[in-house]
Structures are given as C-alpha cells and as structure tokens.
Structure 1
Amino acid sequence: MATLSLSSGTTIDEIADRIYRISTPVDIPGGGFSFNQYLIDDDAPLLFHTGLRKLFPVVSEAVGRILPIGSLRYIGFSHFEADECGALNDFLAAAPHAEPLCGQVAAMVSVGDFADRPPRALQDDETLSLGRHQVRWLDTPHLPHAWECGFLLETATATLLCGDLFTQGGSTNPALTESDILEPSEAFRRQMDYFSHTRNARAMLERLAALQPKTLACMHGSAWRGDGATLLRALADSVERDQAPH
C-alpha cells in the first residue's frame, strides 16, 4: 500500500478498493492526534467527514490529488461536530453539485439550517448507489455520542465508516493495521469519557457486527482490517463491563 504525503503532513492511502484514507496529524495537549476523512472514488464520489474548518486547505488539496474536487457528489458525516463537518460549506462551495449526506435526525436538528444547500437525509437502513460502490446508512443514536449519530457501510468492500468508534490517540499510526486497536482505543475512551451511557449500546454494536465488516474506517487513528464482527462484539463487552454497577 503506497502512501502519498503532502507538505502539511497529511497522508493519503487506499485502504479498500478506491476508498482512500486522508489523515492529518495534529498536536494536542498530552500528545498527538489525527483527523481522518474517507473518500470513495466512484461515479458519484463521496467524502465522509470534512475535517475541521481550518483544515479545509489541506484536506481539499488531498482530495484534489485523487479526483477533481468539483466532482464530489456527497459530503457525508456521522454526526454534527466540528471535526465531522466543520468544513462542510467550504466543500459545498468548491463542489457545485455536492449534497450534504446525513441521517434524518441530523438534517432536522442541525444540517438543514447550517448547510448552504439542503441535505440528502437518509433513513435508517437506506442504501445509496455511488456507481460500483453502495453505501448503507445505519442509525446509531448516542453511539458513541450525539442523538443524530449514524454510520455508513460500503457494501461492495464491507467497509464500515465507523466515525468515532475505536478512536486511537497518536499522530503516527499506520494507515491500515491488522493489529489490536481495541486496547488502545478503550484506554483513550476511559481517559476522555466520550461515550454516552446509552443502554442500547450492546444492541447497536450487535447490529453492526451482524453486517460482518472487513474494514473499519476509523476517524481517529488507524483504519483496521480483519474480523470486524468479533472486534465490535469485544467493544460491546468492554463498554458493558464499564457501565455495569459496581
């Protein structure tokens, strides 16, 4: 897997067939961190996560190394947060035919007002064709946080665009790994306490596991390849243990 590096430190790697991880390292108190976007290069190209508004110059440059930015058709994200969609309107301005892509709740409570163009609001379990690829929207309210949270499964490659699940600290993680990401991501979760305490976490993680993803496209840290069902169930076990009364 070849890595393309930009002068900003942003890197571009193909983690599945025509699915590219764009990762920008940043310094935060206590160490490094990374913000990842995922670009699906197809007839109707999709960018999942925009990055922070201030990262638009470097992220848009990275997108432009893969395809003309004006050809973007969808700008998607898991939930309404600055690192998920802070640069949404910048991308909409650069891509005149692009639509924001989100769940019904996000469209209702935030995106319909914030975005400069009306969003394409997907229903739970709705599938959208991009050409060779298809993405399926999955509502996951409050997993790991935000009422409007949801994920996309790219069905042709079994790639789960899983947002803030399995967040790993550090800014020098490999683009794609088959090594353990549960232990470092759980250490980060316990330190930052960014998961909600929804009682439905187990059921939602089981639903994601049943899809048997082969690649997990994490927003922070490495993307991961392997038995996604087993890893998601291990996360459910860990979260459940931490939330049990002591």
Structure 2
Amino acid sequence: MGITNPQSGTNVEEIADGLYRINTPFIIPGDAGGFSFNQYLIVDDEPLLFHTGPRKMFSLVREALSSVIAPERLRHIAFSHVEADECGSLNEWLAVAPDAAPLCGTVAAMVSINDLADRAPVALADGESISLGRHTVRWIDTPHLPHAWECGFLMEERTRTLLCGDLFTQPGANLPALTTSDILGPSEAFRRSMDYFSHTRNADAMFERLAELDPTTLACMHGSAWSGDGAGLLRSLARSVRE
C-alpha cells in the first residue's frame, strides 16, 4: 500500500478490515490548501468500489486499485449520487470489469443510470442489503442530503463503516487516510463557505436514521476517513446544519 503514483500522489491505505481508501490529492489554482478525491474498495468474494472518481482520474484510480486486486475482479460499482466524482468513470470501470454492474438506489437507476450506464444497474430499495461474502452493504436513501434527489449511502455492516459520500467533506490535499481528530469543524467551515447542502426539511430525520446505524468508521469522499463515535458525530452535524 502507500503511494501508487508519485506524480499525482495517488495512494491506498486500509482503513478497516478489507476496506481500502484510494485517495488522490488535487491542487486548486490559487488555493494553497488543495482538495482530495477518495474512492473506497471493499475486497471480498464480490469486490465493490464505492465512487468511481472523475473520468479524467480513471487511470490513476485503476492503477491504485490494481495494487490491491485485479480490476476485472470487481462485481459492484457503487456511488451515492450522480456527479462526475461519484460516477464519472462508471463506463470505463464496466469496460475493465466485465462481470461488474452499477449498484445504486432505485431513484438513480430510474432517472439516470438505466440510460447513462453501458450495463444495467442493480437498484437497491431503501434498507435493502446485498452480501459481498464476509461483508454486507445496506443502502440507505437520503434524498437531498446533502444534495441530489437520488442521494443515498451504503452501510458496511461487518466493519460498521458508513460510506457517507459528501457528508463531512474536508478541504486539504494531504490529509491522513484515517483520523480520530476533529473533522466536524473543518467540514462545517468548508460547507458554510460553499453551501452545497440542500437544507431539506427532512434532514433531521435522515441524520437520526444514519446515527442509529451506529457506525464506528465514516468513509468520507473528500479528506480523511474518521474513526470513533459515528452516531455522536452525525448528531453533531445535524445540530450544526439545523442552526
């Protein structure tokens, strides 16, 4: 593990048993702090990739994933909602993994993926789970939280890891793969500067439902993954968003 591409800084680290964070730092012109893009690989009998990365990062992510497993072993290409960094290289992954299918919520399948993807998706209903072997992932609908009607997250039940997409987005290009330090402060400062939450009226109920899953690892799409009392941190985020 470690850095897989010295030019880009793309790197891979295991953050939970059989669950790997693939990370590419990104320097934004005029912003000394930078940003980062994460994908998460669950290695099992039916390996799953959560987030594809943007299409233009496909070769970097494929190179990183190849340091863990052969890309053709993938069976599920999953994502939270339809955006370039979430599923921009979906068809490129389907091309290199001939036995894989998109894995998403029913709304994403209906409004986008049935048309956009080169292979029919596996559409999970709210609360529906699928076994990967030792690991099981459960789909949780979170419409408009933080944004997009089709938004949802996967809970990996064996490691109690919530693949939480754009929640807790942290700025910075070179953050540790996994931290126990504060991510709420940096992520909320970043959110307030860009206001990318939809502020849906149902946010409190959805945050509470996620908290009741009692995750111990939060696999964030941007910045560090986090280890600790995930339920408490999700409730703190709910209060901050409400206020």
> TM-score with structure 1 length normalisation?
0.96
Matching residue of 1:244: none
Identical positions, percent: 69
The alignment of Structure 1 onto Structure 2 pairs a total of residues equal to 240
Match of 2:139 in 1: 137
Partner of 2:36: 34
Q: Distance in 2 between matches of 1:41 and 1:62?
A: 14
CA deviation digits over 1:130-172, x for unaligned, max 9?
A: 0000000000000000000000000000000000000000101
Aligned equivalent of 2:96: 94
**Correspondence 1:160 to 2:162:** yes
Picking from 196, 199, 210, the partner of 2:198 is 196
Indicate the SS of the match to 1:66. Answer: coil
Residues 1-246 of structure 1: pairs in structure 2 closer than 5 A? 3-7=2-6, 8-29=8-29, 30=31, 31-241=33-243
After superposition, the C-alpha distances for 1:30-80 in whole angstroms (9 at most, x for unaligned) are 241000000000000000000000000000011111001001000000000
Q: Shift of the alpha carbon at 1:4?
A: 4.0
Whole-Å separation in 1 of the counterparts to 2:212 and 2:78: 23
State the secondary structure of the residue aligned to 2:56: helix
Asked if 1 retains the 8 angstrom alpha-carbon contact of 2:4 and 2:67, the reply is: no
Return 28-37 or 152-161, whichever deviates more. Answer: 28-37
Whether the aligned pair in 1 keeps the contact of 2:3 and 2:9 (CA below 8 Å) is no
Give 1:197 shift.
Answer: 1.4
Quick one: distance in 1 between partners of 2:167 and 2:4? 25
- TM-score, L = length of structure 2: 0.97
* CA distance, structure 1, for counterparts of residue 126 and residue 48 of structure 2: 18
Give, in angstroms, the shift of residue 3 of structure 1: 3.0
Instruction: Give the letter for the 2:226 counterpart.
Output: W
Q: Is the 8 A contact 2:102 2:121 kept in 1?
A: yes
Tell me if the contact between 2:101 and 2:119 (Cα under 8 Å) persists in the aligned partners: yes
Give the stretch that moved more between structures: 6-15 or 76-85. Answer: 6-15
Residue type of the alignment partner of 1:14: E
Stretches of structure 1 that go unaligned for 5 or more consecutive residues are: 242-246
Distance 2:199 2:233 in 1: 20
> Alpha-carbon deviation of 1:6?
2.4
Give unmatched runs, 5+ long, in structure 2: none
CA RMSD of aligned residues (A): 0.8
Aligned equivalents of 2:46, 2:212: Cα separation in 1:
27
CA distance, structure 2, for counterparts of residue 16 and residue 5 of structure 1: 19
How far apart are residue 5 of structure 1 and its match?
Answer: 3.9
Where 1:148 maps in the other structure, the secondary structure is coil
